[in-house]
Amino acid sequence: MSRIETLEIRKTIRRRELREMVPLADSTIYEMEQRGEFPRRFALSPRCIVWDLAEVHAWLLARRATPIRRAQHPDVSKRKSRPVKARDRAQQGA
């Protein structure tokens, strides 16, 4: 039995359908693929790139189940250009 016979045929989606499901920029999806954080695309032909629908669904469910840590707000008082000025004492007392 060859490897091709053991693979199950699964539904694939093109970029348009992927963008409807996952509202991220193409560059963000590409970077996440390179880091292994998003399902990999594969080519059906030189001009037809697709994703496995089941893998994308599994990724969405995993993202929904795991909370994403938000980035901390930057300390604007440490900026080198246009630092935030200290509040006037008159404004602090009011």
- Per-residue model confidence as pLDDT tens digits over 5-46: 566 778 999 999 999 999 999 999 999 999 999 999 999 999
**What does the pLDDT average to over 56-70?**
90
SS3 assignment, position 50: strand
**Structural tokens at position 68:** 């994403």
> Burial of 69 by CB count in 10 Å (0-12 exposed, 13-18 middle, 19+ buried)?
exposed
CA–CA separation, 77 vs 82, rounded Å?
Answer: 9
Where in the chain are the domains?
Answer: 8-66
Q: How confident is the model at residue 66 (pLDDT cuts 50, 70, 90)?
A: confident
Which is more confidently placed, 66 or 42? 42
CA–CA separation, 27 vs 42, rounded Å?
Answer: 16
**What does the pLDDT average to over 65-70?**
84
Query: Which phi and psi (to 5°) does residue 30 adopt?
Result: -60, -45
Cβ contact 32:38 at 8 Å: yes
